[in-house]
Structure 1
Amino acid sequence: MDTAYRFEYNPGIIRQGRNCVASLSDELAGLDCERAMVVCGQTVGSTDAVMDPITDGLGDRLAGVFDETTPKKRLDTVFDGARRVDELDVDALVAVGGGSSLDVAKGISAVAPAEADEDTIAEQFAAGGLLPVPDDDPLPVVAIPTTLAGADLSILGGITASPSSGLVEKPVGGGIMDPRLMPDVLCYDPALLETTPREILQASAMNGFDKGIESLYAANATPVTDAAAVRGLSLLWDALPTLSDERESWASSDILEGIVLVQYGISQPSGTTLSLIHAFGHGLTAHSDVQQGAAHAMVAPAALDYLFEHADGRRELLARAFDIDTDEYSREEVAAAIIEEVESVRDALGLPAQLRDVEDLAREDLDAVAETTMNDSLMGNCPPDLDPTVDELRGVLDSAW
């Protein structure tokens, strides 16, 4: 790879450690914020083992809780949250949970200070699929993930809108993106992650694992993202199988360190390093109710097989992460060994291996999935020597079926 590059990345403060949420009030004080609203889903909001440490950590800075986020990441939920911000006179958000709560919080942080009314914002969103970010700075966000999907160190988020909300005339799948949406503080607290059901963690971990894989072969990879991804993948490859153990202390392993590293630098003002596998994930979740991490588990080996057939895919770096001795194998054998290691992680996490296991996905739906995948913006980040067609993408889906 040409060593000439430009790397612009501004992550928030990163805290990792058991009970690190006890310092939430101090972190908000550092942001000059006095009144924070927790943004989460109903399950998280009703789980005392999660909420009690957070409310204790916030202390007098807790203004209220908005526990209405859902995996659909709906625009009307964003509007509801923005109205609650006004009611509570909030100057910061604390997003707790998986990617859906973090994404909705980013939407709220942008909409709350906006002067435009809801109808105008919805009209702009429907027209371009992007939620507008006003000139006024978004509200500061503190992110406290309770899954391993690696959606935290990011300046973007997903947002959807349905005609049933009365805001749009047809379904809209889009998002929000702005460098100012990077969370100001991120707290990775093992004690909170251990409250999440193991099957949710296992699926989300595959999503996070694939972020490191894609960061290496992305068209806009840099030596900085290479270093973080190789180290993060190496940690995850070795530690993720412990998620299948029944130990309560699994989060004291290298998993959290790996999750932070594989997403470091993947979401920059110039674009993201995510590409082929995540585009397939978007295509599959758009046409079924499959969870994103499970979609990755089923399609990643076939996607990598296709990638290595047509491009180098930075296989030497991937081999380094998985401790594969490239001197012993041909290029084709190295590619096969990488895929085998990805499959071994998937199997260790107890995730499905075939698309036919998705209950609401039929084989005749795969044409539509391939078309949606092809049109996903992340396909622009594929390696320069990869030039996919819809038919080829359908072939990958057939292989994963």
Structure 2
Amino acid sequence: MVREHRYEAARFVWGEGAIGRLEGLLSEASVERAMVVCGEHVGANEALMDAVGDALGERRVHTYTGARGDTPLRTVEAGVDAFREHDIDSLVSVGGGSASDTAKAISVFAAEDGRNLHEMKTRTTDDGESHVPDLSAPKTPVFAVSTTLSAAEVTNIFGVTDEEAGDKAVVLDEKIRPTACVYDPDATATTPPATIASTGMNALDHAVEILYSDGHAENPFYQATAEKAIDLLVSNLPAAVNDGDPDALAAAQLGAGLSGFGIVGGISINHGINHPLCARHPVSHGDGNSILLPHGIRFTFDAVPERMARLASALGVEVEGDSTADEATLEAMCDVIRELQKEIDVPYRLRDVGVDRDDFEAMAEIAAHDSAMANNPKRITESDIVDLLEAAW
């Protein structure tokens, strides 16, 4: 069998003062009219926004503060209106996953004029295959200043929530992978510890799913980045969250960035369920994936024991006997995750985050066709999803 790996094109700039590189990055891309995309809280952070404004100089022509959690469709549409009104040729997201996804969505919606969200979304067919619509229009470049551990800034994929349909649709387009990702410790230091914890668990889930997914688990390049991401996140999240340790925070953010490699083709069962979960209930993306994380491992465990053994090793669990994982390994893996959840005080049960148990069947119907499900090595039915949600309750 002949295989091929292409490195995902992205430029990373990190370290103290990294935000100051923005003007040069935009200059190299020959763009002159930037719209900053962020949420209200980031927009009100004068120190951070002044640093971004100083770095962009005259290239910043507008700031759109409409980004919201889970990227509601209405906020994207409002962003497209602002984009057109100010004749924008570049987008600079400042914040976490919602800011990054909003900027990418604005780029796609503005370019693919006349196509609605559900015409552009990626989905899993009834046969378990992935269907990705062609989005051929040229896209406005996106630059990302990350203030969380979401890893959305690394990827060519984003989610938009259709609140009326109760669905979070995923859109894939290589042309909207951010041109540059900027990690500045001064920016991340302004982020609340609870947000670092939640987004850190989301990044951990990326890497875990990549290591057992059908899409990337046998790819040594993605094995390497996912394993390093797990090591950096598990080792540094407690100090980053509980102590605000700048070195631990910087290491965790790099771990999150590494978890973004391989998301397309790597995320699977947990993300597939989490998309309708967050679209229909007041749960953040990170908290949802944190809660689902051990349950996805449990469901998939017996289908790919060799992959689970590699995952166990990445989590610091010793695999005894032959090279495959057994039930004791499974329990030890789940214990590592649960201990980390306790240390950084993130939720681990759906009942604790306002999820309506009566909605499980409706969520399962949507989740079964989510684009991420095509990557799971064990086929999952709507009934299986309901059982998994019950276990997570």
TM-score for both structures, normalised by structure 2? 0.89
What's the counterpart of residue 22 of structure 1? 20
Structure 1 residue corresponding to 2:368, chosen from 362, 374, 383:
374
What's the counterpart of residue 319 of structure 2? 326
Which is further off, 322-331 or 236-245?
322-331
What's the counterpart of residue 156 of structure 1? 157
2:230 maps to 1:237: no
Shift of 1:162: 5.2
**Contact 1:243-1:349 at 8 Å conserved across structures:** no
What's the counterpart of residue 89 of structure 1? 87
**Contact 1:218-1:382 at 8 Å conserved across structures:** yes
SS of 2:16 mapped into structure 1: coil
Alpha-carbon spacing, 1:261–1:112, altered in 2? closer, same or farther (3 Å): same
In structure 1, give the amino acid aligned to 2:266.
T
2:349 maps to 1:354: yes
Percent of aligned positions with the same letter in both sequences?
29
**Contact 1:49-1:195 at 8 Å conserved across structures:** no
Alpha-carbon spacing, 1:387–1:121, altered in 2? closer, same or farther (3 Å): closer
CA distance in 2, matches of 1:183, 1:376: 24
Residue deviations 1:178-235 (CA, integer Å, cap 9, x gap)? 1101000110112111111111111111111100001111101111100110111111
CA distance in 1, matches of 2:85, 2:338: 49
Structure 2 residue corresponding to 1:183, chosen from 178, 201, 205:
178
What's the counterpart of residue 53 of structure 2? 55
SS of 1:152 mapped into structure 2: helix
2:378 maps to 1:389: no
Alpha-carbon spacing, 1:72–1:214, altered in 2? closer, same or farther (3 Å): closer
CA distance in 2, matches of 1:210, 1:177: 19
2:389 maps to 1:400: no
Residue deviations 1:293-352 (CA, integer Å, cap 9, x gap)? 111222222221222144326122112212222236962222221111111222222011
Residue deviations 1:57-92 (CA, integer Å, cap 9, x gap)? 112222121111222523343333233233333211
What's the counterpart of residue 256 of structure 1? 253
Shift of 1:252: 4.8
Alpha-carbon spacing, 1:252–1:316, altered in 2? closer, same or farther (3 Å): same
Pairing of 1:107-126 with structure 2 (within 5 A): 107-113=105-111, 116=113, 120-122=114-116, 125-126=117-118
Shift of 1:27: 0.6
CA RMSD after TM alignment: 2.4
**Contact 2:167-2:276 at 8 Å conserved across structures:** no
What's the counterpart of residue 210 of structure 2? 215
Alpha-carbon spacing, 1:171–1:295, altered in 2? closer, same or farther (3 Å): closer
What's the counterpart of residue 300 of structure 1? 293
**Contact 2:149-2:203 at 8 Å conserved across structures:** yes
CA distance in 2, matches of 1:139, 1:99: 18
In structure 2, give the amino acid aligned to 1:247.
G
Structure 2 residue corresponding to 1:336, chosen from 314, 331, 334:
331
CA distance in 1, matches of 2:152, 2:103: 12
What's the counterpart of residue 224 of structure 1? 221
Shift of 1:4: 4.3
Residue deviations 1:17-70 (CA, integer Å, cap 9, x gap)? 122011100111110112211011111111112211111111222212111122
TM-score for both structures, normalised by structure 1? 0.87
Residue-pair matches, total? 380
In structure 2, give the amino acid aligned to 1:139.
T
Alpha-carbon spacing, 1:106–1:4, altered in 2? closer, same or farther (3 Å): same
**Contact 1:212-1:232 at 8 Å conserved across structures:** yes
CA distance in 1, matches of 2:308, 2:170: 32
**Contact 1:74-1:160 at 8 Å conserved across structures:** yes
**Contact 1:129-1:173 at 8 Å conserved across structures:** no
Alpha-carbon spacing, 1:175–1:303, altered in 2? closer, same or farther (3 Å): closer
SS of 2:5 mapped into structure 1: coil
In structure 2, give the amino acid aligned to 1:105.
A
CA distance in 2, matches of 1:100, 1:52: 21
**Contact 2:161-2:279 at 8 Å conserved across structures:** no
SS of 1:68 mapped into structure 2: coil
CA distance in 2, matches of 1:76, 1:36: 21
Q: Which runs of 5+ in 1 are unaligned?
A: 164-169
**Contact 2:76-2:106 at 8 Å conserved across structures:** yes
Alpha-carbon spacing, 1:36–1:238, altered in 2? closer, same or farther (3 Å): same
Residue deviations 1:152-193 (CA, integer Å, cap 9, x gap)? 211111123456xxxxxx666424321101000110112111
CA distance in 1, matches of 2:316, 2:121: 41
Structure 1 residue corresponding to 2:244, chosen from 247, 251, 254:
247
Pairing of 1:65-104 with structure 2 (within 5 A): 65-104=63-102
**Contact 1:241-1:345 at 8 Å conserved across structures:** yes
Residue deviations 1:138-159 (CA, integer Å, cap 9, x gap)? 1111011211122121111112
